C-alpha cells in the first residue's frame, strides 16, 4: 500500500474478493474520496484513493476495507437467498386479501341484514345500468380527457 497525505494506493486480491464487491466498496466511500480502479494483473485490482476536502484518507481506506468485508458477506447471503426472496415478494404482491376473522358479536341484526341486502341490490342495479349495451366500459372515466368529455358543449360567454 503506497500512500501520501492526498493519495493512497491499495491492492485488492480478486481471488479473495469479486470485482463486484471491490467496485461497490470503492463506490461506498466516494463521498470522501475520488476513487479509481485499475487492473494491476490477472489477480489484482489496484485502487487509488484521492481525498476530497479535509478528510483523513486513512479513515476512508479503513471504511473501504471494512465495507469490502461486509460486502463479501452480504453478497454471499443475497446469492443464497435470491430465489426465496423473489418468491416471497411475488407471493406478497399476488396474494388475495385474507378475510377478517369473525368475532362473537360480528353477526348482523335483522334490520342491518335488510339494509345490507337493499344496498347490494341497489349497487347491482347501478352496475347493470352502467354496463348495459356498452363494451369496454370505462366506469371511472380514467381513459377520457376533460376535453373529450366536454367536447361539443357550448362555452358560456364571459361578461
Residue 84 sits in the site that holds another protein (CB under 8 A): yes
Query: What are 35's strand-pairing partners?
Result: 49
Are 82 and 90 within 8 A, CB to CB?
no
How many residues at the interface with another protein, by CB under 8 A?
50
Q: Which one, 19 or 108, has the nearer CB to another protein? A: 19
- Give least dist CB 1 to another protein, A: 19
Cell reading at 94: 399476488
Q: Where are the beta strands (DSSP E) in the chain?
A: 2-3, 7-13, 33-41, 44-51
Q: Is 68 in the site for another protein (CB under 8 A)?
A: no
Q: Are 8 and 58 in contact (CB under 8 A)?
A: yes
Give the whole-angstrom CA distance, residue 58 versus residue 43. 24
| 100 is an interface residue for another protein by CB under 8 A | no
Q: Is position 79 an interface residue for another protein (rule: CB under 8 A)?
A: yes
* Positions in the binding site for another protein (CB under 8 A): 19-20, 23-24, 26-31, 34-39, 45, 50, 52, 71, 73-74, 76-82, 84-86, 88-93, 95, 97-98, 140-148
Amino acid at each position: 500500500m503506497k500512500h501520501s497525505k492526498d493519495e493512497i494506493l491499495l491492492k485488492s486480491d480478486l481471488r479473495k474478493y469479486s470485482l463486484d464487491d471491490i467496485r461497490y466498496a470503492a463506490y461506498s466511500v466516494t463521498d470522501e474520496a475520488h476513487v479509481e480502479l485499475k487492473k494491476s494483473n490477472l489477480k489484482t485490482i489496484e485502487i487509488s484513493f484521492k481525498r476530497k476536502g479535509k478528510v483523513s484518507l486513512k479513515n476512508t481506506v479503513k471504511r473501504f476495507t471494512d465495507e469490502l468485508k461486509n460486502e463479501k458477506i452480504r453478497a454471499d447471503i443475497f446469492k443464497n437467498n435470491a430465489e426465496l426472496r423473489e418468491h416471497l415478494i411475488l407471493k406478497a404482491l399476488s396474494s388475495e386479501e385474507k378475510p377478517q376473522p369473525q368475532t362473537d358479536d360480528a353477526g348482523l341484526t335483522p334490520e342491518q341484514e335488510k339494509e345490507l341486502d337493499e344496498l347490494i341490490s341497489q349497487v347491482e342495479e347501478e352496475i347493470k345500468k352502467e354496463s348495459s349495451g356498452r363494451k369496454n366500459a370505462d366506469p371511472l372515466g380514467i381513459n377520457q380527457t376533460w376535453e373529450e368529455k366536454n367536447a361539443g358543449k357550448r362555452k358560456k360567454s364571459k361578461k
